[in-house]
A and B are shown apart, each in its own frame.
Chain A
Amino acid sequence: MNFSPQVEIQIIAAVVAVACALPGVFLVLRRMALMSDAISHSILLGIVLAFFVVEDLASPFLIIAAAITGVITVALVELLHGTGLVREDAAIGIVFPALFSGGVILISRYAGSVHLDTDAVLLGELAFAPFERLSVFGYALPKSLWVMGGILLVNLVFIMLFYKELKLATFDAGLAAALGFSPVLVHYGLMTLVSVTAVGAFDAVGSILVVALMIAPPATAYLLTDRLSYLLGLSALNGVASAITGYWLARWLDASIAGAMATMSGVFFLLAFLLAPTRGIIAIARRRVRQRWQFAQTMLTIHLLNHEGSPEAQQERRIEHLDEHLRWAPSFAERVVRYAERQGAIQSDAGDLTLTEHGRQIARDGLSMSEASPDQRSEFAVS
């Protein structure tokens, strides 16, 4: 099992991305995306403190201590918020900079000689990952691949085991509590997961880019689907895509891999933001335009239906007349008529408009819809 370092880096990047995206889905859904920001910063303090105790950067104790710090961060935020003196966002904004500052000060004061500098924590460096190897069951793979693979497995198992609980607590915390699932337990379970993932990943991609990998792929997927299971799958896929394209972008520009991965995750979000089938900007704009014409067509058919067979019908169904009764500019009226003609709702004979059967149906549907609320009806009954 020996891949070239290139391939290994891409595999590690993909594993990190998936491991981050899975708990990230729940963070985004539960409106706690910024907890990842808070946790990924404050774990620095845990790592530093644990390092002072065990004096070994490779010790697994560091990961445990960091994960505990992550959970403590969440608890502190809730404690502060629970006093009722500050809002939750302000509580986050106070707690994590304080803990992070503590970590930075400790590093620069006491750990100046060891390899533990703040830039590495913040920015990470994936390119060096293949150099540090670990042999388990006879397979000598990069250490970070073992670590992140393990964390990915834990995340997967946790989400599969507690899928139902997570789903319920995320979408209806009240019902979850009433049914006897403790939302608090689910919350802290999830936060532990986020902490462990952040600790494992920050080594590879740095703390701020952990945030990118946790939030951007789920946010992108959230614009594409309404099902939790698809959301998880799409987020993971999107994470992998960001990782691989990011790697090649970084190679092309000879830039930081982590930064390029974050950039690509942003690019994917931008694409979904613009192009998503129902929720993208373009789709929304097109829907608005279509609705505008449909509404105008309904107005026109109702107007014609109102006057069908009445003495003034001859005059009312002239296209020039729409200006007066529907307050449509002549050019707009002409376009509506053309649209309605194309839809087969009316027939125009040199400016003389008659309803087709289909057009009458549109008018009746429009009227029965307005039946529901009298206010709207009076609006329809202009003329």
Chain B
Amino acid sequence: MELLHNLFFDYTLRTVAQGSATLGIVSGALGTYAVLRKQSLLGDAISHAAWPGIALAFLLTGSKAPLVLVLGAAAAGWIGTLFVMGIVNTTRLKDDSALGLVLSVFFGFGLVLLTAFIQKMPNANQAGLDKFLFGQAAALVERDVKTMGSLGIIALLIMMVFWKDFKLLSFDPDFGASLGFRMRWLDVLLTTLIVIAIVLGLQTVGVVLMSAMVVAPAAAARQWTDRLGVMVLLSALFGAVAGVSGALISSSTARIPTGPTIVLCISAIVLISMTLAPNRGLIWNWIRHQRNRRQLRVEMVLDDLYALTLQHEDLEHRHSVRVLNAMSAGRGGAKRSLEELEARSWAHRVGTEWALTPKGLAEAKRLAEMRGN
């Protein structure tokens, strides 16, 4: 209760929670496209590549206004993405090498800028740039949140305006091109939006962990639905939940950084989704698998009984359970399947002997015909 109270009335916590929620929503929604387009790790490259951009923006303008740094980060993230695309398109290097190359080299360059120039500035004003490394949610002020919020809203609005175009781009770009949509241009636009989403989160979560905020909410949301609209909404929701709960947990415990906590929260959501989600989830899958196996065994025993009945040319002739057990040896015995058959009244038992019912005979015939013999 106290936490909830603080969430609304404690200025710092409220700001942090708002910032984290904004970041979760924007990166969750736009991350959906990155995951669907198999560009999950592009976020990793963009966020690392953004670092020298932040340093350069600060060096050139001397300002630490969030908008300036965000623009610098976005520009560098953009150039990094261009490099990745250029390398993949013109050389035989695959995207994994291109991404790894760009992220590490840009990051190294950022480190050179930071150590060679920024840390030597006479005014101590450089403090706070390295918070972009791991993010420092606690240092968020209302101005930051406002910048994040307005840029985020713009990005989301653009996403909605180009909704069906992006859908086409994600699922069937060739078809889209044949319809006359400018796929290359849409690709650029969507990548720009993802760059914005990533850059918004850098201050809170930091360059190292930001990629998780792009991938994880979408990967979790994917488990629950097959529809793009629902997936985007769910992904944004998961991102927001992780953001707020991460902010709450880290505020209520001493010396727990916000960024990593948010990442652990979203990882937990992924784990839960993968386990519990209906249809795709692991538990659901396991149950379905078991049910199919049971069904298959029942049908096999039914088939065995049918074969015996055909051999004896007598529906009433009863067959010992031991024969049936022997026939389904290696499949775990016939006992449970026979009980299942009885429950469906496809077979009836007399003592330890079994025979098909007329209904069971019809079913066995139907199955045999379905198999084509």
Contacts and interface: CB of A to CB of B under 8 A. Distances in A.
Contact of B222 (A33, A86, A250, A266): A86
Contact of A97 (B100, B120, B211, B274): B211
A105 B260 contact: yes
Interface of A is mostly: helix
B41 A105 contact: no
B48 interface: yes
B264 interface: yes
Interface of B is mostly: helix
A28 B91 CA distance: 13
Nearest to B108: A262
Nearest to A110: B255
B222 A98 contact: no
A41 interface: yes
Contact of A104 (B112, B114, B254, B260): B260
A363 interface: no
A334 to B, nearest CB: 32
Q: Which of B108, B223, B264, B274 has the most CB of A within 10 A?
A: B108
Q: Which of B115, B216, B257, B274 has the most CB of A within 10 A?
A: B115
Q: Which of A85, A216, A281 has the most CB of B within 10 A?
A: A85
Contacts of A336: none
A12 interface: no
Given A256-B112, A273-B91, A279-B92, A208 B40 contact: no
B112 A94 contact: no
A355 B1 CA distance: 94
A94 B92 contact: no
A306 interface: no
Contacts of A253: 112, 115-116
Interface stretch (A67-75, A115-123, A165-173, A233-241): A115-123
B38 A112 contact: no
Nearest to B87: A273
A284 B90 contact: yes
Question: How big is the B interface, by class?
Answer: 35 or more
Interface in B280-311: 280-282
A105 B109 contact: no
A31 B211 contact: no
B212 to A, nearest CB: 3
Question: How big is the A interface, by class?
Answer: 35 or more
A258 interface: yes
Contacts of B261: 101, 105
Contacts, number: 208
Given A31-B96, A94-B216, A98-B267, A215 B104 contact: yes
A154 interface: no
Q: Which of A97, A123, A211 has the most CB of B within 10 A?
A: A97
Interface string B204-243: 0000110110111011001100000000000000000000
Contact of A100 (B112, B130, B208, B254): B208
Given A108-B257, A219-B97, A94 B215 contact: yes
Contacts of B103: 37, 208, 211
Contact of A31 (B87, B94, B108, B215): B94
Given A98-B267, A259-B109, A262-B111, A119 B93 contact: no
Contacts of A100: 208-209, 260, 263
Given A122-B208, A212-B108, A260-B108, A102 B133 contact: no
Interface in B33-58: 35, 38-41, 43-44, 48
Interface string A254-269: 1110111111011001
Given A87-B40, A258-B111, A263-B112, A119 B130 contact: yes
Contacts of A55: none
Interface of B: 35, 38-41, 43-44, 48, 87, 90-94, 96-101, 103-116, 120, 130, 133-134, 208-209, 211-212, 214-216, 218-219, 222-223, 253-257, 259-261, 263-264, 267, 270, 274, 280-282
Given A101-B263, A109-B255, 15 more contacts: A33-B100, A34-B44, A36-B100, A85-B282, A89-B40, A90-B218, A104-B259, A109-B256, A208-B107, A211-B103, A215-B97, A249-B112, A253-B116, A263-B112, A266-B106
Top 6 closest pairs, chain A to chain B, by CB: A262-B108, A259-B111, A266-B105, A97-B212, A101-B260, A212-B104
